[in-house]
Structure formats: structure tokens, C-alpha cells
Amino acid sequence: MLYVVACGGYPAADLPAFVADVQADGWDVCVVATPAALGFLDAGGLTQLTGHPVRSQYKRPGEPDVLPPADALVVVPATFNTINKIVAGISDTLALGLLNEALGGGRPIVMAPYPNSALAGHPAYAASLEALRGWGVRLVFGDPGDPRAGADQPGRENTVFPWTRLRAALADLR
């Protein structure tokens, strides 16, 4: 079982193709979205594709879990906010709570960090990446060249999101 944790960024709109690819690789997929990610993705379409509801909120006490337990998690895109909150141990969203539990429980996590260049230069970001690496989180980065980036987000590196590398990283886990 693979949890695809979506954060708020335009690559989240491309999740259906990625989900279909990793399903073809043998993963059963559940999508968990941060509240900010909901504006970038089609929750209904992803629910139909995966057969599991897209979750973004904690369940109420006593309610049954609607998602099976995760064997691995992939964070796409991993935003500056999410990266730094995980390192600080903050679980103020369902996505962060599940990621923190996965870290504590030793489940594999693959992340594709995707901050803009100004945030990538923040001292906390470099320290957070180093901490995540030390904790065994696999970080996967993209390459320059995405024409969608930059024009509407000052400071954004023109980076192609690393969908192929993420898929390869997940294949290594299987």
C-alpha cells in the first residue's frame, strides 16, 4: 500500500498519470492531501482512479479508518512548509500526522522537495533536508527546464518535476 501525500503546488495536478503509473508497477494507492493541495488536484477523479477516498482531514474519534495502512509514502510535491514541519515534528494536518507516524514507525518515505528558489535558500530548509536524509528519507530532485515554472511564481526555479525518478525510487522499495 502506497500513500501518495500531495502538498500544495502545481505538480499535484499531475497526480493521475503518476498514480496510474505506480499502480501499473503493482502499488495499491491512497491519496492523502494537505488542505492546500486540494486546490491543485481532482479529488473525485483520484478517488475513482484509486478506489480509495482522498483524505485531507483527521477522522473523528471512534470512526473507522477508511484507508488501509501504508507500507510506504511518497510526498509530491514536498513543499517548504511540509518539509520544515515534519522535521519539527508538527502534525497539524492529517498528511503531516501520517508522515510523522511513518518516520517514527520506520516506514519508507520518498520526497520530491519543490520550494521556490527564495525558500530553498532559507537556512531552515537546508537543515531540514539534512535531517530528513539522516533519518533515512529518500529525497528526489528534478532537473531544470520546466516552462510552466517561473512566470507566475517569482523566484521559482524552472525545474521539471521528477516523476520518472520518483517512480524509480518506489521501484527500489518493492
Distance CA 120, CA 60 (A): 36
Q: Can you give the pTM of this predicted structure?
A: 0.91
Domain harbouring 36, CATH code: 3.40.50.1950
Q: What is the pLDDT along the chain (174 residues), one digit of tens a residue?
A: 999 999 999 899 999 999 999 999 999 999 999 999 999 999 999 999 999 999 999 999 999 888 999 999 999 999 999 999 999 999 999 999 999 999 999 999 999 998 877 788 889 999 999 999 999 999 998 866 544 444 344 444 556 789 999 999 999 988
Pick from 75, 70, 80, 170: nearest CA to 124: 80
Of the CA atoms within 13 Å of residue 55, those in its CB half-sphere come to 22
Q: How many domains does the chain have?
A: 1
Question: Residue 72, SS3?
Answer: strand
* 8 A C-beta contact, residue 111 and residue 133: no
* 8 A C-beta contact, residue 129 and residue 113: yes
Give the structural domain span for 67: 2-173
